[in-house]
Structure 1
Amino acid sequence: MIKTITWDILLSAGTFFATSAIIGLVIERIVLRRLAALAHRTSWEGDEIVITSLKGLTFYTFLLVGLYGATLRLPLDEKTQHLADRGILVVLLLLATVLMMRLAAGFVSHYAKKAVLPSTSIFSNLAKAIAFSVGILIILQSLGISITPILTALGVGGLAVALALQDTLSNLFSGLHIIATRQIRQGDYIRLGSGEEGYVTDITWRNTLIRALPNNMVLIPNSKLASAIVTNFHLPETEMAVLVQVGVSYDSDLEKVEQTTVDVAQGLLREVQGGVSGFDPFVRYHTFADFSINFTVILRCHEYVDQYLLKHEFVKRLHRRYLAEGIEIPFPIRTVQLKGTEG
């Protein structure tokens, strides 16, 4: 027999629900913040991942606890109580699934930075997908739905799915291959044989994202990148040579040209940001051209983008120094001789 709902029962249920909500709010707004401040002082970063994952979930968890306690105080019939218990259990398992997804993604990203594999979204997304799949299976099992036929159907349909998602799976495994070989890493500056170049910002399950110098984003399918000819300007190290082509007049004293040019280059590397100050620049003559004797000046910068400022400053300084030293930088001259015609 169902009891009559009285004001005392409603007040008791409401009080329990409100108290649980207040406790959840206090834990969310005060306790977790203080725990986060303490976690910053510890050497292990895992506690920060746990606290960050709990944010936004503790309040709703205590709401569910309060709702469950309130339903126990209300005179509900057996069927209604059973439905309420099932609903609360499903929502609680969903919150637990979200927590596991956050923890999995956080710890995978954290330990990937210290291990062989770089920190990219492809691993965190895979960890989230696995945690979500396990959570859904647990929810179905808790509702009395047998997961064995589902797993069997997934196994049988796996071949059809693999055929339908051929390109997607190709990009996925190509992305894993790119990350595992560490020949292209997050933050590297690369150039493809087709001309695209920029900084690698992320390697996802489908594309590799490259931020070009004009601040545009280039999306390259992982399968295309894995089979492309790629120049990585950050391997084996970020430092690289900067080659500047110069030409001087045939009347120039080449010993003086070399000494003057090296002197300008040494001052440049010491004073300009991006130059490797400990590197000794040098000159190599290589061509008797039509109007000049050409040579290459070899400088060195810390990374790829530093070369633009070095070249900019070097051209200005070298031009000013050549003018002061009387060294001529020739420009093309064409002499035309006209034969006169006999009258």
Structure 2
Amino acid sequence: MQQQWLIEWAKYLDIITDHPMLYAALVVFGFWIGAWIIDKWVLSWVRKLTEKSPAQLDDHLVEFLHTPVFYSIFIFGLIVATDIYGVPPAIEKIIFPVYYTLLLLLWTMFALRFTQVALRQLAKSEKYFKVLHPQTLPLFENLALLIIIGVSIYYILSSWRIDMTAWLASAGIIGIAVGFAAKDTLANLFSGVFIMADAPYKIRDYVVLETGERGEVTNIGLRSTRLLTRDNIEVTIPNSVMGNTKIINESGGPSTNYRIRAQVSVAYGSDVDQVREVLLKIAEEEPEMNMFPAPVARLRTFGASGLDFELMGWIEEPAFRGRILDQINTAIYKRFNELGIEIPYSKHDVYVKSFPSFPNLPKDSSQSDET
């Protein structure tokens, strides 16, 4: 019975193979059924597995795979069916490149969609991918777009047997010319990426540049960094300059506090313990001065005119440094006046031992000798 069934099946296969069009149609139908099974059953099963994971990237991957996988299997069926049916060489040179072009377009669209979602997910996880930020995201998206489209165009043209040697040589020459023409822009661009990756400062930090500019960082772009000074003037500095200059970040460090120093001199002979006590009392009475860490007063040097003291304390915002120093200096001056503590200033006494004589000058008879 089994042998008879095999013989009957072989007869049907012979009939099918003797009719290439029917054979090709069955092959296309079989590939379509296989694509439907994989799309509806296999990918659905994989999606259920990915839904259990907390990550969202794998969910997007399965979602984007539906269309390219289904149509890729179907197009492979068309390629096999066309080879079985047999077409003239003139048509074969056209139809097979069309199939390859469709496949490349399908997977190019998949790569573009998945890359965009993947980059956005990586930009959110700055803990592990410090180069990717919301500011640098457009740069990497455009780079990925250019690379994917460039590779896709190369293989599409290659499938049509178009020689790409001349195109690649022209692209290299154009790239060198653009590199020389836009070297400053590229320097700013790469410096901006490195600044965001290294993070020597961030938005809302107060920085002091080597050239003396001081202000709050309001924006870190790919081309430049912007500072807002205390005069409410916005300063734009190219990133190539920011990457090659000394920067003092007043808001940096493990602590969020910022230290200020008020310097004052008292006359020699003053009670240093009293001066230190008065300075610490002024710091305690200042409402914007933090009490932890506690303020300290130090006798720094024996100056030319007096004893140089320094009152050091901590504040929360570097932007308030000027105003708080003004309040502390005003309080020091008033309190020293009340207590009679002298603040010395530079004095110079000039002694003239004798006036020079001028013997060659005629003597004015109207003036007395005493004059």
Distance 1:202 1:109 in 2: 17
Per-residue CA deviations over 1:141-172 (Å, capped at 9, x if unaligned) read: 9xx9x899698454563333223322222221
Distance 1:221 1:241, change over 3 A: same
Counterpart-to-counterpart distance in 1, 2:259 and 2:237: 28
- CA offset digits 1:194-229 (Å, max 9, x no partner): 222222222222222222222222222222221112
Change (3 A) 1:327 1:286: same
Q: Is the 8 A contact 2:298 2:310 kept in 1?
A: yes
Q: Per the alignment, do residues 159 and 332 of structure 1 end up closer, same or farther by CA in structure 2, a change over 3 Å counting? A: closer
Tell me the residue number matched to 2:251.
Answer: 234
8 Å Cα contact 2:261-2:313 kept in structure 1: yes
Match of residue 261 from structure 2: 243
Distance 1:185 1:245 in 2: 31
Code of the aligned partner of 1:244: A
CA RMSD across the alignment: 4.0
Tell me the distance in 2 between the aligned counterparts of 1:287 and 1:104: 60
Q: Displacement of 1:107 after TM fit? A: 5.0
Pair 1:254-2:272 in alignment: yes
Residue 310 (structure 1) aligned to one of 324, 348, 358:
324
The answer on whether the counterparts of 1:108 and 1:124 sit within 8 Å (CA) in structure 2 is: no
Match for residue 328 of structure 1?
342
- CA change 1:137–1:246 in 2 (3 A) is same
TM-score (norm 1): 0.58
Q: Quote the residue 1:194 is aligned against.
A: 211
C-alpha contact 1:105 1:125 (8 A) present in aligned 2: no
> C-alpha distance in 2, partners of 1:316/1:340?
45
Residue 104 of structure 1 contacts residue 131 of structure 1 at CA under 8 Å; is this kept in 2?
no
Residue 251 to residue 99, structure 1, CA distance change in 2 (3 Å): same
Partner of 1:294 in structure 2?
Answer: 308
When structure 1 is superposed on structure 2, of 153-162 and 223-232 the one drifting more is 153-162
1:183 partnered with 2:196:
no
Contact residue 266 and residue 343 of structure 2 kept, 8 A: yes
* 8 Å CA contact retained: 2:262, 2:311: yes
1:266 is the counterpart of 2:251: no
Equivalent position SS for 1:322: helix
Q: 2:233 aligns with which of 216, 234, 243?
A: 216
Trace 1:42-191 onto structure 2 (pairs within 5 A). 107=121, 110-112=124-126, 115-117=129-131, 119=133, 121=135, 123-130=136-143, 133=146, 152=168, 154=171, 157-191=174-208
Question: Would you say the 8 A contact 2:260–2:312 is kept in 1?
Answer: yes
Cα distance in 2 for residues equivalent to 1:208 and 1:118: 17
SS in 2 for 1:224: helix
Q: Structure 2 unaligned runs (5+)?
A: 1-53, 57-111, 356-368
TM-score by length of 2: 0.54
Return the letter of the residue paired with 1:315: N
Deviation at 1:340, TM superposition (A): 5.9
* 8 Å Cα contact 1:202-1:208 kept in structure 2: yes
| AA aligned opposite 1:252 | S
- Measure, in 2, the Cα distance between the counterparts of 1:262 and 1:295: 12
Q: Could you say what secondary structure the match of 2:299 adopts?
A: strand
Q: Distance in 1 between matches of 2:191 and 2:313?
A: 37
Can you give the 5+ residue segments of structure 1 that lack an aligned partner in the other structure?
1-43, 47-97
After superposition, what is the alpha-carbon deviation per residue over 1:240-279, rounded to whole angstroms, capped at 9, x for unaligned?
32111101122311111111111211222xx22xx32212
Distance 1:265 1:230, change over 3 A: same
